[in-house]
Amino acid sequence: MAQPPLITLNDLRLTFGGKPLFTGVSFSLSKGERVALVGRNGAGKSTLMKIISESVESDSGDVWRQPGITYAIVSQEPSLAGYETVLDYVSEGLEASYMAEAELMEFGVDGAADPTTLSGGQQRRAALAKAFAREPDVLLLDEPTNHLDVPMIETLERRLKGFNGVVLLVSHDRRFLENVSTNTLWLR
């Protein structure tokens, strides 16, 4: 039996600089789906994820979200600025830090490290640890494999396949998308 949708988008339209970025975008996301959002550069994939997470509004159309759903977002360039330690970053907003500590171990990042000293791959792994530590209903991942080595991509694939919520991801890594996606949406 199909799961009811957690998010439904209906006829979304967004213009940027007077030109349509996208028009007529409609789809639903249900628990258990891992959806690849693909399209050319500049098609609005990252912006659409921001609309879903309520950080940007569309010009028109409707977005319905199941009341009380939670999101975790990993952006293309995660910012760890302003945190004393990686653990501070990952555990921000959590009642107990044990989930953050467990996810940092899973993703191989030292929680005691100074975030300003991390490589791009370590920053990405810390951002993924933060997202999974929240146990969200919806994971929004923008280029999650950037700066990751093959073993860490395999760890991410395993974690996404075991995730019970909705995953919406943007990636140029076709092998990764083939391995984890249950559906593909083309943004044209």
pLDDT of residue 175: 94
Enter the DSSP assignment of 117: G
The structure's pTM equals: 0.92
pLDDT digits (tens, 9 = 90+) for 104-159: 999 999 999 999 999 999 999 999 999 999 999 999 999 999 999 999 999 999 99
For 62-94, how does the pLDDT look when each residue is reduced to its tens digit (9 = 90+)?
A: 999 999 999 999 998 889 989 999 999 999 999
Q: Is the pLDDT of residue 13 over 70?
A: yes
- Given a cut of 90, whether residue 187 has pLDDT beyond it is no
Q: Quick check: 71 and 138 in contact, CB under 8 A?
A: yes
User: What separation in angstroms does the CA of 75 have from each of 61, 64, 72, 96, 102?
Assistant: 24, 22, 10, 24, 21
pLDDT recorded at residue 1: 60
Full set of structural domains in the chain with CATH: 1-70+136-186 (3.40.50.300), 79-135 (no CATH)
Whether pLDDT at 26 is above 90: yes
